[in-house]
Amino acid sequence: MTDRHQGGRPGPLLPSERPVRFLTDGGTPARGRHPYPEPDQELLLRAYRRMVVGRRFDAQATALTKQGRLAVYPSSRGQEACQVGAVLALDDGDWLFPTYRESVALVTRGIPPVEVLSLLRGDAHCGYDPHRHHVAPQCTPLATQTVHAAGLAYAERRKGSGRVVLVFVGDGATSEGDFHEALNFAAVFRAPVVFLVQNNRYAISVPLERQTAAPALAYKGIGYGVRSEQVDGNDAVAVLAVLGAAVAHARSGGGPFLVEAHTYRLEPHTNADDATRYRADAETEQWRRRDPIARLKAYLRRSGRLGDDEAAAIAAEAEEVAARLRAGMNADPDLAPLDLFAHVYREPTPQLAEQRALLRSELQAEEVPA
Amino acid sequence: MTPAAGTTMAQALNAALRDALDGDERVLVFGEDVGPLGGVFRVTDGLTAKFGEDRCFDTPLAESGIVGFAVGMAMGGFRPVVEMQFDAFAYPAFEQIASHVAKMRNRTRGRVELPIVIRIPYAGGIGGVEHHCDSSEGYYAHTPGLKVVTPATVADAYSLLREAIDDPDPVIFLEPKKLYWSKAQVALPARTEPFGRAAIRRPGADATVVAYGPAVPVALEAAEAAAEEGWDLEVLDLRTIVPFDDDTVVASVRRTGRCVVLSEAAGFGGVGAEIAARVQERCFHSLLAPVLRVTGFDIPYPPPMLEHHHLPSVDRILDALDRLQRDDEPDTRYLLAGGVA
């Protein structure tokens, strides 16, 4: 075993000094040097399509909270380049470990929207089959899923499957111990896992300055020997380029990779939050001008890849997705109260069998006509 | 094979891990110092040498990371057996255990199973310094989705650990530290009763002592002492706290009419309280005396030179038995004295 602990500089691990970007805020080619090739136009067009559909989904989900069809919804409006870029950077067999804010990523992955929203509607903690989609349950305790991602990535490496794992975290979660333990485990075991930090500037109300004194969150990787990078998270071209490189790095045996995407949550934390209490409208307005969808659209328009017909077709697809979501969410979910006992253990304990019988008798009593 | 001198509990646990690793290549052992060192209690002794670093390996020193990593590996098809070095050092992993290990099956409606065993040397009686002697079973037993197992005999140590590794649900496997060096003549591999069955370690007619883990030998010792005073005690060893064997406990107490619950842990809000409540709910009309608990005091685990004052002793059990005979005047000691309640 070679001793990697001889001191020295973290050179190859260091992120770029400035977030990698391909596009300016206006969608024109940006200057600046970085080693990443531009993704092909076909992929960019697919990303644009998924981002438009994702935003429409997001708006519809927010509207459904107002109608009482969702208990709560954490919007990812403004973060579509990250949500979609992460999914498109992966193969279908690769795993995703999402948080509660990754609904758009999960819809992009192809999980039926109603199943994605089960957690937030409140009929089930996880509406989809994680093994079928290779997507872990949406995680609410912050950063706790990062160690799972590292463990699953190591399991895939041990099996020689060639699969990669991508785990989402926010800026706040980088302060949690599990985030650091996950980076460390992933590095020590050379697990093929990409940590995507969506730095959207706020952990509910607490701003980034209160989370870290580091020059960028991307620097949190290098102390663990993890190759790290930062990217303009509202530039879909840059997100796809950097995540593509990160995924390739992990898949080829290079170990974990940390990407910090600088982005912004345009909406409040959830529909129950009041963002005016902790941030200025002017700041939000400034980020609206860096909208990831408008930027990519301008770029694809200019390159001639996105014509009027195609844009119209994408807009129509988005409306269709929204209509299907409305219809799906307006139907009441099937609730099976006795299933509360079905999945605590593979076989219910005698005590759970007793409690199930109690609930069943209560339900039967309710059914008796008055 | 039975060594002439007998097998220790630590050796039986080691044999269970060895046989499980041998029988199923999905089984992995990992944690702190479990590799070449063989664990601080030598329970993983020789496993890395025999099975290689891929099957039994050391990890970074981070308990939450160890358990969380095991969650991911179990999702990926492995069957991790992880070691927490000491009871109180497992607390950093508690969030992973309570929020993910215990709930994954439930939150995914049965689609994601986590066949993980978390081995935890626990409880006192070995002169350990602070943070090395906690009886932490109550935290785990109170968390739905976990099975909580604690052997008191050498044969059970082997059999219950094999069953834990085979189990499709996560198991908190609590190893009584002070019994690691207890010996018995057992032929391994041994198979005893399955999870969810309490064992009658000593049949008796006058009162039932319900115990588990490190308290079982103390209960048996007390039963011998009580016999000299003309009391014929029945001693139950729960073996698994979850699932809990109401049937055996209830049948015993209905026969004897009296019950003392024994537990090293602090009494308030603990497993002992749960057992006492269950007994009075189910045996009320058979009871000839209140159900009593003999437990540790409600204090942080004491320094080693004082631990004998804290741990339930034979004398304290006998004292409780005296009070089970009472059937007329209220016992003022019961009302005024602490410790035995």
pLDDT digits (tens, 9 = 90+) for B81-118: 999 999 999 999 999 999 999 999 999 999 999 999 99
What is the predicted pLDDT for the residue at A246? 98
Instruction: Identify the sign of the CA torsion B69, B75, B79, B81.
Output: positive
Q: In which domain, by residue range, is A92 found?
A: 41-334
Q: Do residues B85 and B150 share a domain?
A: yes
CA distance to A26, A96, A100, A102, A125, per residue, from A145 (Å): 36, 10, 11, 13, 15
Domain-embedded: residue A353: yes
What is the predicted pLDDT for the residue at A9? 83
Contact B239, B156 (CB under 8 A): yes
Contact A111, A65 (CB under 8 A): no
Which residues in chain B are contacts of A344 at CB distance < 8 A? 105-106, 144-145
Q: Best of B27, B67, B71, B105 to disrupt the A interface by mutation (most A CBs within 10 Å)? A: B71
Which of B137, B154, B184 marks a domain boundary? B184
Least reliable range by pLDDT among A25-34, A266-275, B324-333: B324-333
Which residues in chain A are contacts of B112 at CB distance < 8 A? 130-131, 137
Per-residue pLDDT tens for B18-42?
999 999 999 999 999 999 999 999 9
What is the predicted pLDDT for the residue at A10? 84
Which residues in chain A are contacts of B247 at CB distance < 8 A? 350
Q: Do residues A350 and A213 share a domain?
A: no
Q: Do residues B63 and B136 share a domain?
A: yes
DSSP class of residue A23? B
What is the predicted pLDDT for the residue at B339? 47
Q: Do residues A187 and A283 share a domain?
A: yes
Within 32-61 of B, beta carbons closer than 8 Å to A belong to 54, 59-60
Q: Do residues A190 and A225 share a domain?
A: yes
Residue of B nearest to A343 (CA): B106
Q: Do residues B43 and B74 share a domain?
A: yes
Q: Do residues A355 and A273 share a domain?
A: no
Which of B184, B216, B237 marks a domain boundary? B184
Decide if B164 touches A, using CB distance below 8 A.
no
Rounded to whole angstroms, the Cα distance separating A125 from A117 reads 10
Q: Do A185 and B69 touch (CB under 8 A)?
A: yes
Residue of A nearest to B242 (CA): A349
DSSP class of residue B119? E
Across the interface, of B108, B145, B246, the residue whose CB is closest to A344 is B145
Instruction: Identify the sign of the CA torsion B259, B290, B256, A355.
Output: negative
Decide if B104 touches A, using CB distance below 8 A.
yes
Q: Do residues B33 and B167 share a domain?
A: yes
Q: For chain B, what is the mean pLDDT?
A: 95
Q: Do residues A261 and A346 share a domain?
A: no
Which residues in chain A are contacts of B65 at CB distance < 8 A? 147, 150, 178, 181-182, 184-185
Domain-embedded: residue A236: yes
Q: What is the CATH number of the domain that holds A249?
A: 3.40.50.970
Q: Do A148 and B169 touch (CB under 8 A)?
A: no
Residue of A nearest to B105 (CA): A343
Which residues in chain A are contacts of B35 at CB distance < 8 A? none
Domain-embedded: residue A77: yes
Q: Do B75 and A148 touch (CB under 8 A)?
A: yes
Domain-embedded: residue A144: yes
What is the predicted pLDDT for the residue at B21? 98
Per-residue pLDDT tens for B140-173?
999 999 999 999 999 999 999 999 999 999 999 9
Q: Do residues B207 and B127 share a domain?
A: no
Distance (Å) from the C-alpha of residue A154 to the closest C-alpha of chain B?
A: 7
Q: For chain A, what is the mean pLDDT?
A: 95
Per-residue pLDDT tens for A123-134?
999 999 999 999
pLDDT at A368 over 90: no
Q: Do B196 and A339 touch (CB under 8 A)?
A: no
Residue of A nearest to B243 (CA): A349
What is the predicted pLDDT for the residue at B149? 98
Which residues in chain A are contacts of B106 at CB distance < 8 A? 125, 343-344
Domain-embedded: residue A33: no
Least reliable range by pLDDT among B32-46, B144-158, B184-198, B323-337: B323-337
Q: Do residues B149 and B267 share a domain?
A: no
Q: Do A147 and B71 touch (CB under 8 A)?
A: yes
Q: What is the CATH number of the domain that holds B317?
A: 3.40.50.920
Q: Do residues A124 and A180 share a domain?
A: yes
Q: What is the CATH number of the domain that holds B110?
A: 3.40.50.970
What is the predicted pLDDT for the residue at B333? 53
Domain-embedded: residue B341: no
Domain-embedded: residue A301: yes
Q: Do residues A84 and A148 share a domain?
A: yes
Strand extents, DSSP E, chain A: 95-97, 165-170, 193-199, 202-203, 206-207, 227-232, 257-262
Q: Do residues A100 and A218 share a domain?
A: yes
Rounded to whole angstroms, the Cα distance separating B34 from B80 reads 13
Per-residue pLDDT tens for A90-145?
999 999 999 999 999 999 999 999 999 999 999 999 999 999 999 999 999 999 99
SS3 category, B230: coil
Q: Do residues A269 and A189 share a domain?
A: yes
Considering just the CA atoms, what is the radius of gyration of chain B in Å? Answer: 20
- Number of other CB atoms surrounding residue A172 within 10 Å: 20
Q: Do B109 and A351 touch (CB under 8 A)?
A: no
Q: Do residues A356 and A308 share a domain?
A: no
Burial level of B198, CB count in 10 A (0-12/13-18/19+)?
buried
Q: Do residues B23 and B48 share a domain?
A: yes
Contact A173, A166 (CB under 8 A): no
Q: Do B147 and A345 touch (CB under 8 A)?
A: yes
Closest CA to B118 of B143, B151, B155, B85: B85
CA distance to A279, B151, B214, B311, per residue, from B124 (Å): 53, 15, 8, 8
Per-residue pLDDT tens for A171-221?
999 999 999 999 999 999 999 999 999 999 999 999 999 999 999 999 999
Per-residue pLDDT tens for A2-43?
577 878 888 889 999 999 999 999 999 999 889 999 999 999
Percent of chain A with pLDDT over 90: 94
User: What size, in residues, is chain B?
Assistant: 341
User: What size, in residues, is chain A?
Assistant: 370
Q: In which domain, by residue range, is B123 found?
A: 7-184
DSSP class of residue B233? E
Q: Do B96 and A149 touch (CB under 8 A)?
A: no
* B80 alpha carbon, distance to own chain's centre: 20
Decide if B95 touches A, using CB distance below 8 A.
yes
Domain-embedded: residue B2: no
Contact B227, B233 (CB under 8 A): yes
Q: Do B69 and A158 touch (CB under 8 A)?
A: no
Domain-embedded: residue B332: no
Q: Do A150 and B243 touch (CB under 8 A)?
A: no
What is the predicted pLDDT for the residue at B332? 56
Which residues in chain B are contacts of A149 at CB distance < 8 A? 72
Among all chains, which residue has been given the structure tokens 């099957």? B55
* A81 alpha carbon, distance to own chain's centre: 10
Q: Do residues B48 and B160 share a domain?
A: yes
- A35 Rama class: left (phi>0) / alpha (psi -120 to 50) / beta: alpha
Among all chains, which residue has been given the structure tokens 């089970």? B324
Contact B18, B56 (CB under 8 A): no
Across the interface, of A130, A150, A158, the residue whose CB is closest to B69 is A150
Rounded to whole angstroms, the Cα distance separating B249 from A212 reads 55
Please tell me which residue in B131, B132, B142, B285 is annotated as part of the active site.
B132
Rounded to whole angstroms, the Cα distance separating B36 from B51 reads 11
Q: How many domains does chain A have?
A: 2
Q: Do A178 and B71 touch (CB under 8 A)?
A: no
Confidence of residue B340 (pLDDT cuts 50, 70, 90): very low
Residue of B nearest to A354 (CA): B246
What is the predicted pLDDT for the residue at B3? 59
CA distance to A256, B12, B13, B186, B339, per residue, from B4 (Å): 51, 14, 18, 10, 42
Residue of B nearest to A146 (CA): B68
Which residues in chain B are contacts of A151 at CB distance < 8 A? 68-76
What is the predicted pLDDT for the residue at B337? 47
Query: Counting one residue from A and one from B, how many pairs have CB atoms under 8 Å apart?
Result: 140
Per-residue pLDDT tens for B254-300?
999 999 999 999 999 999 999 999 999 999 999 999 999 999 999 99
Active-site positions of A?
265, 269, 278
Helices (H), ranges, chain B: 9-23, 47-51, 63-75, 94-95, 104-107, 137-141, 154-166, 215-228, 246-256, 271-283, 307-310, 314-325, 332-336
Q: Do residues B261 and B310 share a domain?
A: yes
Q: Is B285 a catalytic residue?
A: no
Rounded to whole angstroms, the Cα distance separating A189 from B340 reads 50
Domain-embedded: residue A72: yes
What's the complex ipTM?
Answer: 0.96
- CA angle A351/A354/A355 to nearest 5° reads 90
What are residue B184's DSSP bridge partners? B7
Decide if B274 touches A, using CB distance below 8 A.
no
Q: Do residues A351 and A257 share a domain?
A: no
Rounded to whole angstroms, the Cα distance separating B90 from B220 reads 30
Mean pLDDT within B225-253: 97
pLDDT at B338 over 60: no
pLDDT at B246 over 50: yes
pLDDT at B250 over 50: yes
Across the interface, of A141, A185, A343, the residue whose CB is closest to B109 is A343
Domain-embedded: residue B72: yes
Q: How many domains does chain B have?
A: 2
Instruction: Identify the sign of the CA torsion B179, B181, B186, B191.
Output: positive
pLDDT at A303 over 80: yes
Q: Do A154 and B77 touch (CB under 8 A)?
A: no
Decide if B230 touches A, using CB distance below 8 A.
no
Q: Do residues A259 and A162 share a domain?
A: yes
Q: Do residues B204 and B287 share a domain?
A: yes
Across the interface, of B77, B95, B108, the residue whose CB is closest to A126 is B108
- B106 Cβ contact list (under 8 Å, min separation 6): A125, A343, A344, B144, B145
Domain-embedded: residue A20: no
